[in-house]
Amino acid sequence: MTAQTEASGDVSPWRFSVAPMMDWTDRHCRVFHRLLSARARLYTEMVTTGAVLHGPRERLLGFSPEEQPVALQLGGSDPQDLARAARIAEEFGYAEVNLNVGCPSDRVQDGRFGACLMREPALVGACVAAMKGAVGIPVTVKCRIGVDDQDPGAALDALTLAVREAGVDALVVHARKAWLQGLSPKENRDIPPLDYSRVHRLKRAHPDLPVAVNGGLKTLDEAQGQLAHVDGVMLGRAAYAEPALLLGVDPLLFGAPAPAADPFAAVEAYRPYMAARLAEGVRLHAMTRHMLGLFNGRPGARGFRRHLSTAGMRASAGLETLSEAVAMVSRAALEAAA
């Protein structure tokens, strides 16, 4: 993004986003993250088309209005099923639908979706075209730079050309290959080498296509550095493990104040939502598990995590348990300052 673009206020919707992460970015997590950044784009966990079409939709797709802008990530490879699922996503109020072309798990491969679709760019293009024909919201793709023995240049270029022709609104590229045989999904997040320059070259070749980069980014300084080359950055594990990092997103990347002054204020802002969910029968741990790393690096952080991971697991745990955990950080800070 150029300085002129930023000055004009024409900021890409994908300038900063939190990655879709299975078992992590559920609706409680997204509400909490929204309290830390008003501008970040948030993504659901991946949901398969079969689950959307035949499963309990409200449980799978329901979200709170305060999460917006929030995108639904879909897993699938049948164009018509994806079109139907995208239409349902639009009816639910999602701001975007994203197609997963990056997950390397065996289950995903068995279903012929995720990263293995890097080998079938024409099919991915057909999927995007079907979704674009079904909805008015943006349709995006999250992919790898290639899989297994593919040449990353040829693989990524072929996929990009196919989805561009189909009308894709943005491409999010995890700047690593995925090895579908021999590496676990966890290993696929670390072992294949990162190649940010490959994503930068892609953006230069397609200046009018919004391109965001994902993979291995740990700090907002690193994210800001990437914005000299691409339209957006997507952080995953770093944002989840150190959620206070998100308090810097709006000031640093958008020139806007953070919605909470500090992590303590974020906890207070989260309380009304938590109280409402507790009244509905949601367990405290379902919400506090997403904030365990909030005070990392501060005195008392270990006690905070331990208390929420033990007392917070009890079926009877309520907001007083959270207050006890936060008090450990407050006391430790006072003792450190004494």
- Is 328 annotated to bind a ligand? Reply is no
C-alpha 52: how far from chain center: 19
Residue 46 known to bind ligand = no
- Determine if residue 287 is labeled as part of a ligand binding site: no
Least confident interval from 6-10, 71-75, 290-294: 6-10
* Residue 54 is labelled as binding a ligand: no
Instruction: Record the pTM.
Output: 0.93
111 burial type by CB count under 10 A (0-12 exposed, 13-18 middle, 19+ buried): middle
Per the annotation, the verdict on 103 as an active-site residue is yes
Distances (CA, A) of 13 to 70, 95, 96, 321: 11, 10, 10, 37
Which is catalytic among the residues 29, 103, 127, 143? 103
Which three-class secondary structure string do you get for 141-160?
Answer: EEECCEECCCCHHHHHHHHH
Instruction: Say which CATH class 263-337 falls into.
Output: mainly alpha
Rounded CA separation 151/177 (Å): 9
| 3-250 and 263-337 share one fold | no
For the segment 249-303, what is each residue's pLDDT rounded down to a tens digit?
999 999 999 999 999 999 999 999 999 999 999 999 999 999 999 999 999 999 9
The reply to whether 73 sits in an annotated binding site is: yes
Rg over alpha carbons for the chain, rounded to the nearest Å, is 20
Distances from the Cα of 191 to the Cα of 19, 183, 185, 214, angstroms: 19, 8, 10, 15
Residue 84: predicted pLDDT: 98
Q: Was 214 annotated as part of a binding site?
A: yes
182 is in an annotated binding site: no
237 has binding-site annotation: yes
- Give the helix/strand (H/E) hosting 167: none
Looking at the predicted structure, is the pLDDT value of residue 5 above 90? Answer: no
pLDDT, mean of residues 45-56: 96
* pLDDT over 90 percentage in the chain: 83
pLDDT over 50 (residue 2):
no
The total of other beta-carbon atoms located within 10 Å of residue 184's CB is 12
Distance CA 92, CA 89 (A): 5
Query: Does 101 have pLDDT greater than 50?
Result: yes
Segment holding 126, helix H or strand E: helix 121-134
Q: Which of 261 and 179 is assigned the larger pLDDT? A: 261
Confidence of residue 207 (pLDDT cuts 50, 70, 90): very high
- In the prediction, which pLDDT does 149 show? 86
- Find out whether 174 is annotated in a ligand binding site: yes
Domain boundaries, the chain: 3-250, 263-337
**Residue 223 near residue 235 (C-beta atoms within 8 A):** yes
Number of Cβ atoms within 10 Å of the Cβ of 122: 12
**pLDDT tens digits for 210-242?**
999 999 999 999 999 999 999 999 999 999 999
Q: Which CATH number fits domain 3-250: 3.40.718.10, 2.70.98.10, 3.20.20.70, 3.40.1390.10?
A: 3.20.20.70
Q: Is the peptide bond before 121 cis (omega within 30 degrees of 0)?
A: no
